[in-house]
Amino acid sequence: MTTRGRILVVDDERSMQEFLEIFLRGEGYAVATAGDVASARAMLENDDFDVVISDLQMPGGSGLDLLHAARDASPDAIVIMITAYASTETAIAAMKEGAYDYLTKPFRVDEIRLVVEKALEKKSLARENRRLRTELRTQSRNRSVVGNSTAMQRIFDLVSQVADSRANVLVTGESGTGKEMIARAIHEIGERRDGPFITVNCAAIPENLLESELFGHVRGAFTGALHNKEGLFELANGGTIFLDEVGDLPLPLQVKVLRAIQEKTFRRVGGMHDQQVDVRIVSATNRRLEEEVAQGRFREDLYYRLNVIEIPLPSLRERRDDIALLVDHFVEKYARELGKDVKGVSDDAMAKLTSYRFPGNVRELENVIERAVALTRGPVIQVESLPRSVLEREEPAPAPRIPREGVDLDRMMEDYERSLILEALHPAGGVKKKAARLLGISFRSLRYRLEKLGIDDGSSREDE
């Protein structure tokens, strides 16, 4: 059952505990009670509360002592003081120590209702600010997805189809193909666009810290857990959580992620209570998870929960038509960011770029262009501004990979033929006879292929 928040009531008068507990439960809050500072301190160290309502005067310790304990256990906890001994001095002291508000017995129920609601609004705002800071730290350097190739058009169509679905999505592909950008696109055009988008790199976080990062922890759960901490699942509530490199999740943690997906609940490390969460899961991997399942390294039930809809991203080698478009995009981006007056790329440099295999895919291409823009002194990137890897390195042809759903071989061959012809026409300056020589075919054969593929737009010439 979803609650509006968790509240701890601390008062040495049993009647006041019962009154506040009944009233606040009726308002939809989960309520715990304690009769003294020592009991309340133990509860704060073993659980997480949104609001603490405490009497200021109690035997065995004051409300100010409890205020300090709450601050140590959970800096985001909102503390409200209640006392029958109203005075300006005690009110000022409590507020200076960090109390959110100060109420005097006897109080009206409307008054306590309003103060609690405002306290939770403040905590919600603090949580949102923290979420935004987390998102700014983790968001991709480039949020756009660029591509005109047939392969990418199919991806764009699939993204638009699944964006408003609540089904979990698994994005697969080699490193550097833009899996996070696709995940972000799914979020930004879907019904959860106004919610948070939280990225978790499952391979980058040490295994002993990953559970705490995902689900949070309570104070004292382990050495160094000095405060209660929200996890990334909590920060993603109402939005999307992107589990990047999900194939690297340790097996013990896979069980807990599966439970969070199936039951929409989780428990903080060291916590005693389950918390509900409403998130959409988009995950990504460069591994073949079917093989990981077969080898016992990945849970089959989790695999099927994550892979409701698969989006397989092509490598840059499989979408070579997009290289020139991506180059133009990155040149514009980094010229603006670096304050350089760079407008484009020379024909020779473009020929080198389009003939390179880019084992690092789009990420490698972006790094190459950023470097070239930084090194270029004139308005056009020349060959000498490209790294040695692009100029000299030859990659072996990769082993062919056929997806489970099969391939359209005729279309693939047609796309590959088209990309080779376009690559030949570019350094040939559009002269067909030069392009034919580069391709090792006759001029008549080239003209036939241009007509067949529908790419003779009239900009090329037959001879010099």
The CATH number of the domain holding residue 78 is 3.40.50.2300
Each residue's pLDDT tens digit, 241-285: 999 999 999 999 999 999 999 999 999 998 888 888 999 999 999
Average pLDDT of the chain?
Answer: 85
Q: What is the pLDDT of residue 172?
A: 95
- Render the burial of 155-175: b for 16+ CB within 10 Å, e for the rest: beebbeebbeeeebbbbbbbe
Q: Domain check: are 184 and 291 in the same one?
A: yes
Closest CA to 277 of 269, 285, 268: 268
Strand pairing report for 51-55 and 240-244? unpaired
Q: Domain check: are 218 and 257 in the same one?
A: yes
Whether the per-residue pLDDT at 37 is higher than 50: the answer is: yes
Each residue's pLDDT tens digit, 301-322: 999 999 999 999 999 999 998 9
Q: Domain check: are 252 and 187 in the same one?
A: yes
Q: What is the mean pLDDT of residues 21-26?
A: 92
Q: What is the mean pLDDT of residues 33-38?
A: 89
Q: What is the pLDDT of residue 100?
A: 86
Q: What is the pLDDT of residue 64?
A: 84
Q: Domain check: are 295 and 331 in the same one?
A: no
Q: What is the pLDDT of residue 455?
A: 73
- Domain-embedded: residue 460: no
Q: Domain check: are 10 and 99 in the same one?
A: yes
Residue 93 near residue 65, CB atoms below 8 Å = no
- Domain-embedded: residue 132: no
Q: What is the mean pLDDT of residues 400-421?
A: 77
Q: What is the pLDDT of residue 140?
A: 39
Q: How many domains does the chain have?
A: 3
Q: Domain check: are 270 and 299 in the same one?
A: yes
- Domain-embedded: residue 130: no
Q: How far is CA 42 from the centre of its chain?
A: 35
Each residue's pLDDT tens digit, 40-73: 888 888 777 889 998 888 877 888 888 888 888 7
Q: How far is residue 263's CA from residue 237's CA, in Å, rounded to a whole number?
A: 14
- 138 pLDDT band, cuts 50/70/90, is very low
Residue 163 near residue 189, CB atoms below 8 Å = yes
E-assigned strands of 249-361?
265-267, 274-276, 280-285, 309-312, 344-345
Whether the per-residue pLDDT at 399 is higher than 70: the answer is: no
Q: Domain check: are 199 and 305 in the same one?
A: yes
Q: What is the pLDDT of residue 241?
A: 95
Question: Domain end: 82, 97, 125, which one?
Answer: 125
Whether the per-residue pLDDT at 141 is higher than 70: the answer is: no
Q: Domain check: are 322 and 219 in the same one?
A: no
Residue 281 near residue 261, CB atoms below 8 Å = yes
The kind and range of the H/E element at 242 are strand 240-244
Residue % of the chain over a pLDDT of 90: 42
Q: Domain check: are 160 and 273 in the same one?
A: yes
Closest CA to 102 of 75, 78, 71: 78
Q: How far is residue 59's CA from residue 167's CA, in Å, rounded to a whole number?
A: 55
Residue 184 near residue 226, CB atoms below 8 Å = no
Q: What's the CATH number where 410 sits?
A: 1.10.8.60
Q: What is the pLDDT of residue 129?
A: 63
The kind and range of the H/E element at 201 are strand 197-201
Q: What is the pLDDT of residue 224?
A: 81
Q: What is the mean pLDDT of residues 404-422?
A: 80
Q: Domain check: are 273 and 336 in the same one?
A: no
Q: What's the CATH number where 209 sits?
A: 3.40.50.300
- Domain-embedded: residue 30: yes
Q: How far is CA 264 from the centre of its chain?
A: 18
Domain interval for residue 155: 139-312
Q: How far is residue 218's CA from residue 239's CA, in Å, rounded to a whole number?
A: 24
Each residue's pLDDT tens digit, 178-222: 999 999 999 988 889 889 999 999 998 988 899 999 999 988 888
Q: At what angle do helices 409-425 and 432-439 cross, to 10 degrees?
A: 120
Residue type, 170: L
Q: Domain check: are 369 and 445 in the same one?
A: yes
